Amino acid sequence: MQKIIRSGKVKRSEVETVVTMLASGIKLGAEYNDHALRGEYDGYRECHVRGNLLLIYKIKDDVLILVVANIGSHSELFG
The pair phi, psi for residue 33, each rounded to 5°, is 45, 50
Q: Is 60 exposed, middle or buried (0-12, 13-18, 19+ CB in 10 A)?
A: exposed
Verify whether residue 74 is a known catalytic residue.
yes
Rounded distance, CA 22 to CA 7, Å?
A: 23
The catalytic residue among 11, 35, 60, 74 is: 74
Alpha helix (H) ranges present in 9-73? 12-23
**Residues with catalytic roles:** 74
